[in-house]
C-alpha cells in the first residue's frame, strides 16, 4: 500500500503537503522552551 502511494507522483505530493501542513501546527523549539520557563518560574 505504501509503495503504491509513493509510486504515484500526485499522491506523494499530496502526502508531502499534508505533512507540511501538520508540521506547521506543531510547537516550535522556542514555544517548548517558553513553556518550560513558565512552568519552572512558578
Compute the Cα dihedral for 4, 5, 10, 13 and give only its sign: negative
| Structure confidence by residue, pLDDT tens digits, 6-34 | 899 999 999 999 999 999 999 999 999 99
- Judge contact between 12 and 6, C-beta under 8 A: yes
**Grid cell locating 37:** 520557563
Reduced to 3 states (helix: H, G, I; strand: E, B; else coil), residue 25 is coil
- Residue 26's pLDDT is 95
Whether residue 4 has pLDDT greater than 90:
no
pTM for the model stands at: 0.56
Given a contact cutoff of 8 angstroms between Cβ atoms, the answer to whether 2 and 12 are in contact is no
Could you state, in order of their start, the residue ranges of all structural domains in the chain?
2-40
Amino acid at each position: 500500500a505504501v509503495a503504491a502511494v509513493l509510486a504515484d507522483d500526485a499522491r506523494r505530493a499530496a502526502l508531502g503537503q499534508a505533512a507540511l501542513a501538520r508540521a506547521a501546527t506543531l510547537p516550535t523549539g522556542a514555544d517548548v522552551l517558553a513553556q518550560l520557563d513558565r512552568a519552572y518560574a512558578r
